[in-house]
Amino acid sequence: MGRLSGKIALITGAAGGQGAAAARRFAEEDARVVVADVRDDEGKALADELGAHFVHLDVSEEDGWAAAVAEVTEVYAPPNVLVNNAGILHFARLQDTTLADYQRVIQINQVGTFLGMRAVVRGMVKAGGGSIINVSSIEGLRAAPLLSAYTASKFAIRGMTKVAALELAGKGVRVNSVHPGMIETGMLPNALGGQAVDLTFAGKKVPLGRVGQPEEVAQLTVFLASDESSYCTGAEFVADGGVTAAHSLSSFG
Ligand code: NAD
């Protein structure tokens, strides 16, 4: 019996990157996995490979959430694990950040997380419990230049996680945030217009000496989805190779 046996896990942004890594690990641990994404071809291919279910979901759309949760409920049962993982990155100086770009990032990262939690909570409470994992970032803990909208969205996710955790603590629903550091996925290249990015230099600035892999975040997500984390709620779980242990005047030796 796997560590996630009995779990029905809806993972957003699961067609690639960290979401896909989580979907793979969850399936290995016997969860019934729902791969949710706007990228239908990649999402369906992964779901077929894992024996999972694919649902088209744009996390920024309220109606989409209702339809997705209804579909999962019909196929399996109401989700008792939600990984709010979908997110986008946008680089721009504050004075060059358009309102449209700012709102796009907030709508997907922040509003999407809010809508996701709200969409599953009644079902989880009715079923007697669940686990919600909100993927923030080290930019939900510390600031980075050129990332006004992204940093705002990730701080907001950290905050709303704690409110939800307090409201739901007596109902058996745990809510935690995950704060990855620099992880090797398509996110950074996509935000830089699709160009290849050599992360070796960035990796050397990390105390552990390298950037992280999506599977290393997925391990943490499995723990939070499982009953092994039964006493964890409202907490911040960092997987950043030691980056946030330092302050900006320190050197790593
Ligand atoms: P990624 O770009 O590889 O994957 C993101 C996935 O989200 C894609 O499959 C994409 O199609 C999907 N997506 C985008 N907009 C969506 C929407 N509106 N609705 C549904 N799906 C949507 O990125 P990743 O690195 O795997 O990022 C996953 C999460 O981890 C994000 O929330 C990101 O902010 C966070 N994160 C990433 C890093 C990193 O260095 N890669 C660091 C910290 C936090």
Spell out the alpha helix ranges (H) of the chain.
17-28, 40-50, 62-75, 99-105, 112-127, 148-168, 187-191, 200-204, 214-225
Mean pLDDT rounded to a whole number for the chain: 97
Give the list of residues 6+ apart from residue 215 with CB closer than 8 angstroms, or none: 21, 25
35 lines ligand 1 (CB under 6 A): no
Q: What is the pLDDT of residue 242?
A: 98
Distance (angstroms) between ligand 1 centre and the Cα of 247 equals 26
Q: What is the pLDDT of residue 35?
A: 99
Q: What is the pLDDT of residues 67-84, one digit of tens each?
A: 999 999 999 999 999 999
Q: What is the pLDDT of residues 98-132, one digit of tens each?
A: 999 999 999 999 999 999 999 999 999 999 999 99
Give the list of residues 6+ apart from residue 39 with CB closer than 8 angstroms, or none: 15, 16
Would you say residue 217 has pLDDT above 80? yes
Task: Determine the average pLDDT of the residues in 194-218.
Answer: 95
Domain ranges of the chain: 8-245
Q: What is the pLDDT of residues 7-51, one digit of tens each?
A: 999 999 999 999 999 999 999 999 999 999 999 999 999 999 999
Three-state helix/strand/coil letters over 154-175: HHHHHHHHHHHHHHHHHHCEEE
Q: Is 36 helix (H, G, I), strand (E, B) or coil?
A: strand
Cβ distance 225 to 9 under 8 Å?
Answer: yes
Atom of ligand 1 nearest to the CA of 135: 32
Q: How far is CA 47 from the centre of its chain?
A: 18
Would you say residue 251 has pLDDT above 90? no
110 lines ligand 1 (CB under 6 A): no
Q: What is the pLDDT of residue 250?
A: 85
Cβ distance 132 to 140 under 8 Å?
Answer: no
- The string over 8-41, giving b where at least 16 C-beta atoms fall within 10 Å of a residue's C-beta and e elsewhere, is bbbbbbbbbbbbbbbbbbbbebebbbbbbbbeee
Q: Is residue 154 classed exposed, middle or buried when 0-12, 13-18 and 19+ CB atoms within 10 A define those classes? A: buried
Would you say residue 253 has pLDDT above 70? no
Could you tell which of 25, 105, 187 is best to mutate to test the pocket of ligand 1, judged by most ligand atoms within 8 Å of the CB?
187
Sequence length of the chain is 253
Spell out the alpha helix ranges (H) of 30-96.
40-50, 62-75
Q: What is the pLDDT of residue 248?
A: 85
Atom of ligand 1 nearest to the CA of 61: 18
For the entire predicted model, the pTM comes to 0.98
Distance (angstroms) between ligand 1 centre and the Cα of 60 equals 13
Q: Which CATH number fits domain 8-245: 3.40.50.1240, 3.40.50.720, 3.40.50.300, 3.40.1280.10?
A: 3.40.50.720
Would you say residue 252 has pLDDT above 70? no
179 bridge partner residues: 238
Please indicate whether residue 115 or residue 247 has the higher confidence score (pLDDT).
115
Atom of ligand 1 nearest to the CA of 154: 34
Distance (angstroms) between ligand 1 centre and the Cα of 85 equals 6
Q: What is the pLDDT of residue 95?
A: 98
Q: What is the pLDDT of residues 169-191, one digit of tens each?
A: 999 999 999 999 999 999 999 99
Give the H or E element holding residue 128.
Answer: none
